[in-house]
Amino acid sequence: MNRCIFCDIINRESPAEIIYEDEFSIAFMDINPVTPGHLLIVPKKHFRVFTDMDEVSAGELFSAALKVSRAVRRSELKPEGLNLFLAEESAGMQEIFHCHLHIIPRYSGDGFGLKIKYSDETKNQLKINAEKIRKIL
């Protein structure tokens, strides 16, 4: 496996502004913040993508995300809101292939956004697409 920057941070082989850590997860400031307080929650075990995670690790990751999100909301940064963003694979905008969850504090007019193109064709396929997912669960 190639060297992983997030594993290096977990192992203290690369510097990071760590703000929280428990047995399963670590949280540190994003080195390229889109808004003040932008941080990442990362499982300590290396999972390439979210859907590779086991349920315990995923639950612990979101539990840590809740704890850290509350701290961000109550902090002097005083965000007006938050976005949680998880990218999977290049098509989903994942750039570092060690699963991670972004916590992005939001402020009116901060300029962060997603480009959304609604599709009538996709809307017309709701039942068909729901069944494609339902039959796997």
- Interface residues with Zn ion (CB under 5 A) are 4, 6-7, 46, 98
- Paired tokens of 68: 């850290």
Residues found in the chain? 137
Nearer to Zn ion, 6 or 50 (CB): 6
Contacts of 20 (CB under 8 A, 6+ apart): 26, 27, 41, 64, 67, 68, 71
Task: Phi first, then psi: give them for residue 133, nearest 5 degrees.
Answer: -85, -45
C-alpha to C-alpha distance for 108 and 16, rounded to whole angstroms: 28
Least distance to Zn ion from the beta carbon of 117, Å? 33
CA 98 to chain centre: 11
Using CB positions, name the residue nearest to Zn ion. 4
- CA dihedral (77, 39, 89, 84) positive or negative: negative
Nearer to Zn ion, 71 or 86 (CB): 86
The catalytic residues are: 100
Nearer to Zn ion, 6 or 72 (CB): 6
